[in-house]
Amino acid sequence: MAGVTNAPFRTLCRRYGAGLYVNQMITARALVERHRKSLELAAFAPDESPRSIQLYGTDPYSIGEAARLLVDGLIDGVPVDHIDMNFGCPMKKVTRHGGGAALPWKREHYRKIVRAAVANAGQVPVTVKFRIGIDSESITFIDAGKIAEDEGAQAVALHARTANQLYSGHADWSRISELKEAVTSIPVFGNGDIWEADDALRMMRTTGCDGVTVGRGCLGRPWLFGDLAAVFEGRPVPPRPDLGTVLDGMVEHAALLCNWMGEEHGIRDFRKHTGWYLKGFPAGGELRARLNRVGSLDEMRDLVGALDRTIPFPDGGMRMVRGHSGSPKAVHLPDGWLDARDDEVAMPRGAEQLVSGG
The CA distance from 132 to 139, in Å, is: 6
Long-range contacts of residues 33-42, Cβ cutoff 8 Å, at least 24 apart? 33/354, 35/354, 35/356, 37/355, 37/356, 37/357, 38/354, 38/355, 38/356, 38/357, 39/75, 39/76, 41/6, 41/356, 41/357, 42/75, 42/76, 42/356
Q: Which of 89, 209, 218, 258 is catalytic?
A: 89
Angle between helices 7-16 and 224-232 (to 10 degrees): 40
* 33 and 62 Cβ atoms separated by less than 8 Å: no
| Residues whose CB falls within 8 Å of the CB of residue 74, separated by 6 or more in sequence, listed in order | 68
Q: Is 89 a catalytic residue?
A: yes
Amino acid at 322: R
**Which residues are the active-site residues?**
89
